[in-house]
Structure 1
Amino acid sequence: MDATKTFNSAEFVTPLSISRSLLSTSISTLLFFALSFAVLYFVAHAVYQSFFSPLAALPGPWYSAISDFWLTTHVVRFQQCRIVQALFDKYGPVVRVGPNKVAFCNATTMRSVYCVHKFDKSSYYKSLLTNNNDHAMTTLPHAEHAVRRKAYSSHYIPSNLALFQTDLQDLCLKLVDTLGRTFGSTPVDCLDLFRHLMVDIIGTTVFGRLPGSLDNWAKNIQDPLATAVYDFPKRGVMRSAVPTWAWNLVCLIPNNRLRQVCDSDRIMAQFVAGRLYEMRTNLQAGPVGGGTDTEKLPLLQRMLLHRVFATNECMPDKDIISEGMGHLVAGVDTSSTTLSYLLWELSRRADIAKRLQAELDEAMPDRAVIPDAVALTKLPYLNAFIKEGLRLYGAAPSLLERVVSSTSPSGLDDSFDLMGYAVPPGTIVSTQAWSMHRDASVFPSPETFLPERWLAVDGVDGEDERLAMMNQHMVPFGVGSRLCGGHALAQLVMRMVIAVVARNLNITADVTQTNERSMEMRDAFVLFPAAKECKLIFNARKN
């Protein structure tokens, strides 16, 4: 009886239960081995990167040598420039910032990397694709970029920009008139205002059409194009920080603000494509000039007429659209940010504002007549003021990544000498304007806004050498053949805007709204203030 009870108990083991037990054991064993392998791989990787990698001898924190994760955490917090600067302060002018990444801060090495060897860009720039297609900024090989650059380089030479001078002056005067409606009342978010101004300027010079963005701002109407340009750099940072499948999931999140960021590329593409097809129709309907130097042609029309030298074929539409979008992004938020910081300095530095206004009062006896481009370049304090703004508040302060290629024709020793360290091909090397512009040995009191540093002192020996050294370290628009194509337009616009605003208006700020904390710099490849706004108060100057 007892034996029967034992035989029929729940403890009886069936073949099915044995199978389940074995399966469970197999899964547990597989998970254990997989986890063990992952741990061993990570440890082996860390040991190799720390002690046996060709970059092991470079200074830097141990955690940056084994993973890019540490630097990525600062990228997504928009603080990469500051953390890289902190590494330079601690470890010196060359530092390992990732398993395969080295940052440096040295003018001679900068010229070697970007001007002499002309290393290709890294894959990071692919996160800045427009319309899912390359443009000049995202074209990685140097040789291919040189071909693309020919399509737009002639547009930005000073003699051609002079043809648009009246249009630019009219927009700058319109800006002052728009600000006149706010006198002494509501603070103006200059970051937003200048973004709308720059959309109109780029619209006029690049696309041959005034989008009316500044008018929309004056009427308090949201301008979708200005918003898209503002969102695009953040889209690029987010896109570069996560894999493609994760980015696709992010774009599905039902959040209106996030969707605006994700859709910024599409909105700009629709504008540029629409203008392209309209311009082509107009060109086909009537006679058109041949694009000589004396004709005032918007860049889009130049690209329509441009023929690639190697094939004698026109540029594909997708390349024209992407290039146009690239110039829209590069030209708008960069200039609007630097201009906002410049006006903020005027609002809190009465000594600088007084000296600048004195120079402009003499150069602009009629406050409604802006001097021409050549005359503006001859105003010493205006140009010193803008140059100091580009030093501290240049809108592209981030790492400019390049990939080391073989430097030896024989291939026997193809490492690149980076300040005494042998760096093998495939290594990503970079410098950043943020650090080049804050080298205390070149710029004493580097965090102080001091336009006078750019003015030669009469009777003092070594002034020419001092100014030359500072200029060698100035790279607000990049360096070498990948220099920003529109830098001449950007500087022309800055001179005009600062001249007409400072000549006509006094600027103040409510320090409870706009202060050191709200204007603390963040970087998403391009610069922006922590508060994402720059609220200032404008009042008319008395005669």
Structure 2
Amino acid sequence: MAWLESPGAFPTELLYVFGPVLAATYLLALASWRLYLCPAAEIPGPALAKLTYWYEFYYDVILSGQYIWKIRAMHEQYGPIVRINPEEVHIQDADYYDQVYAGSTHKRNKWTFFTNQSGLPQSAFGTLDHNLYRMRRAALNPYFSKAKVRSLQPRIESRLNNLLTRFREFQESGEPMTVSLAYAALTNDVVMEYAFGRSDNRLLAPDFDPSFKEAGEAGAKLGHFVKQMPWVLTLMKFLPDSVQIALNPVMASYIKLNKDIIRHVSEIYSHRGDTHGKYSSQTTIFHAILQGDLPEKEKSPDRLWQDGQVVVIAGTLTTAAALSELTYHLLRQPIELRPLKDELAKAMPDPAAVPDIARLEQLPYLTAVIRESLRLSSGISTRLQRIAPDETLIYKAKVSDDKKKTAWDKEYILRPGIPLSMTGLLIHHSPTYFEDPMAFRPQRWIDNPTLERYLVPFSRGTRACVGMNLAYAELYLTVAGVFRQYGSREVRFPEDQGFLELYDTSYKDIEIIGDGVTPLYRPDSNGVRIVVRAV
């Protein structure tokens, strides 16, 4: 035992003995904590899910976004409240939605595990703390209010006219049109112009420039891996772009999108206060934020580009998905298209003159079509976590014993700090809330207006999607503009410009097969494709 006489010495053999013992002790203590002692210990769920994040990693990273379906299966086995990883509790009960996604009188923080995946910690979307989020969100709210969005109608209509021009071009050529890309180009052109005072005019590109759509999808798909291993983003920042692209070719478009947004925000920042330059007459989101009363450190380009990234990606993909969804179903179901065209014909005697957004919002069948498309497309497919930092919530679940034919309420105490989540897509596609949930049936919203409380494509509460009003405006104007002027082979009006037919498109092309933050579709899907026919 000579090592006792040498204070600086420590025999290697002791590491071999005590190292495994210490590791085993740590793992045993961690397992005991997660299974029996942590605040969420009493919540039912698979033991492996409670023990390790690798369970979720397997379904979301190895199997590509399949944990959403595993969570649904867990609820079928364990009931409406389930522990889905070592810390998070998932609830499948739409009537409890407003408790988790509460209003302004309740503090709700976000969870680091979720926000890690965006790599945008300084954006309002990625902000953890409730109070800091409210300050950042308050700077954005005025530019996405209903009144402000309605004032944007001429801008949106300008882009809509570009879309209709492209319809006529494809009508003349007879070539098939990937309308999913056209819709994404429309929404991207609108949000880019409003955010930065410029757009890339993707609607005018021959192929609608799919790179930006691919960029948003690539960033979203990376999220599952990054939230498990956030150090990957830090590492990527030190790698040259060429190396990142070599490792993952789909990152090329995402990197370009990042650089473009950073450049736009930096330009706007450098010209702030310029009353005679090219930005002097601009009234965009970021011009207004820079002139607002946020603390100066909150106006730095390093922070604002992150808000810009969220606004552009969210403002492009989710609305375009709903437009693609409704186009597919309306062209397949004449019985749903006819009442829509009847209603639009009465509201729009001149097919080329779109009424005010406020007027369109009063049209019941148009509204029902939009709600049904949002329900089925669920622009955000991932679960959204909220943490009540200083509030204990109580959830009562119905528990039954089939053998004894008895049922009772079981009360679960959800202590402060537990990440709680729900998944809008699982609510939207559940037969508990929507009869025949995968069917496109707009009439359900007219027959039962109370269903609206179960429609949460933009979430609810203080952290609901800031761009909700803009998305609705684009949906109302685009659906009215397109389907007032175009019908289907079965449903045509005398004043129509032509009619639309699906081309090489089936349900498989819009079927959601997984969760990549936004919905994942089949790799071989080309989206919704149409042929524009003459009357």
For the criterion TM > 0.5, the same-fold answer is: yes
Question: Do residues 538 (structure 1) and 523 (structure 2) align?
Answer: no
How far residue 350 of structure 1 moved from its aligned partner, in angstroms, is 2.2
> Per-residue displacement from partner, 1:280-335 (whole Å, max 9, x unpaired)?
565544269xx9xxx98211211121112xx5887222222222222112111111
8 A Cα contact 2:215 2:251, kept in partner:
no
How far residue 266 of structure 1 moved from its aligned partner, in angstroms, is 4.3
Question: Do residues 529 (structure 1) and 521 (structure 2) align?
Answer: yes
**What corresponds to 1:411 in structure 2?**
none
Q: How does 1:119-518 map to 2 (within 5 A)?
A: 119-129=108-118, 133-183=121-171, 185-216=174-205, 218=206, 220=207, 222=209, 224-245=211-232, 248=235, 256=245, 259=248, 261-262=250-251, 266-280=255-269, 284-286=273-275, 297-308=283-294, 311=295, 315-407=299-391, 415-419=392-396, 420-456=411-447, 466-468=448-450, 470-505=451-486, 506=488, 507-510=500-503, 513-516=505-508
8 A Cα contact 1:128 1:138, kept in partner:
no
Question: Do residues 50 (structure 1) and 43 (structure 2) align?
Answer: no
**What corresponds to 1:74 in structure 2?**
59
How far residue 44 of structure 1 moved from its aligned partner, in angstroms, is 5.0
**What corresponds to 2:495 in structure 1?**
none
Question: Do residues 65 (structure 1) and 57 (structure 2) align?
Answer: no
8 A Cα contact 1:190 1:536, kept in partner:
yes
How far residue 533 of structure 1 moved from its aligned partner, in angstroms, is 3.3
Letter of the 1:171 partner, please give it: R
CA distance in 2, matches of 1:323, 1:351: 42
How far residue 95 of structure 1 moved from its aligned partner, in angstroms, is 0.8
3-state secondary structure, aligned to 1:444: coil
3-state secondary structure, aligned to 1:120: coil
CA distance in 2, matches of 1:452, 1:478: 23
How far residue 524 of structure 1 moved from its aligned partner, in angstroms, is 0.9
8 A Cα contact 1:235 1:261, kept in partner:
no
How far residue 472 of structure 1 moved from its aligned partner, in angstroms, is 1.9
CA distance in 2, matches of 1:337, 1:257: 29
Distance 1:232 1:54, change over 3 A: closer
**TM-score, structure 1 length as denominator?**
0.81
The one of 506, 515, 519 equivalent to 2:511 is 519
**TM-score, structure 2 length as denominator?**
0.82
The one of 70, 73, 83 equivalent to 1:83 is 70
CA distance in 2, matches of 1:392, 1:175: 24
Structure possessing the higher radius of gyration over alpha carbons: 1
How far residue 47 of structure 1 moved from its aligned partner, in angstroms, is 4.6
8 A Cα contact 1:337 1:528, kept in partner:
no
8 A Cα contact 1:416 1:423, kept in partner:
yes
CA distance in 2, matches of 1:296, 1:159: 18
8 A Cα contact 2:197 2:282, kept in partner:
no
8 A Cα contact 1:304 1:314, kept in partner:
no
Question: Do residues 105 (structure 1) and 92 (structure 2) align?
Answer: yes
How far residue 375 of structure 1 moved from its aligned partner, in angstroms, is 1.7
Letter of the 1:316 partner, please give it: S
> Per-residue displacement from partner, 1:258-291 (whole Å, max 9, x unpaired)?
5454455643343233333444565544269xx9
Letter of the 1:195 partner, please give it: A
Distance 1:314 1:397, change over 3 A: closer
**What corresponds to 2:5 in structure 1?**
none
Letter of the 2:46 partner, please give it: P
Distance 1:256 1:79, change over 3 A: same
3-state secondary structure, aligned to 1:152: helix
CA distance in 2, matches of 1:150, 1:52: 39
Uncovered stretches (5+) of structure 2, i.e. residues with no partner: 1-10, 397-410, 489-499
How far residue 179 of structure 1 moved from its aligned partner, in angstroms, is 2.5
Distance 1:54 1:142, change over 3 A: closer
3-state secondary structure, aligned to 1:422: strand
Distance 1:300 1:247, change over 3 A: closer
3-state secondary structure, aligned to 1:121: coil
CA distance in 1, matches of 2:303, 2:140: 12
Distance 1:296 1:379, change over 3 A: farther
Uncovered stretches (5+) of structure 1, i.e. residues with no partner: 1-25, 408-414, 457-465
Distance 1:176 1:391, change over 3 A: same
How far residue 206 of structure 1 moved from its aligned partner, in angstroms, is 1.6
Q: Which range moves more in the overlay, 119-128 or 142-151?
A: 119-128
RMSD (Å) for aligned C-alpha atoms:
3.1
8 A Cα contact 2:445 2:452, kept in partner:
no
8 A Cα contact 1:235 1:262, kept in partner:
no
Q: Which range moves more in the overlay, 352-361 or 476-485?
A: 352-361
How far residue 384 of structure 1 moved from its aligned partner, in angstroms, is 0.1
How far residue 489 of structure 1 moved from its aligned partner, in angstroms, is 0.4
3-state secondary structure, aligned to 1:75: helix
**What corresponds to 2:493 in structure 1?**
none
How far residue 169 of structure 1 moved from its aligned partner, in angstroms, is 1.0
3-state secondary structure, aligned to 1:179: helix
CA distance in 2, matches of 1:186, 1:33: 72
CA distance in 2, matches of 1:65, 1:189: 44
Letter of the 1:178 partner, please give it: R
8 A Cα contact 1:50 1:65, kept in partner:
yes
CA distance in 1, matches of 2:195, 2:272: 16
> Per-residue displacement from partner, 1:111-134 (whole Å, max 9, x unpaired)?
12221533200013433546x551
3-state secondary structure, aligned to 2:82: strand
CA distance in 1, matches of 2:509, 2:20: 45
8 A Cα contact 1:164 1:296, kept in partner:
no
Percent identity between matched residues is: 22
Distance 1:147 1:261, change over 3 A: farther
CA distance in 2, matches of 1:406, 1:34: 39
> Per-residue displacement from partner, 1:3-50 (whole Å, max 9, x unpaired)?
xxxxxxxxxxxxxxxxxxxxxxx9798557645654564455445433
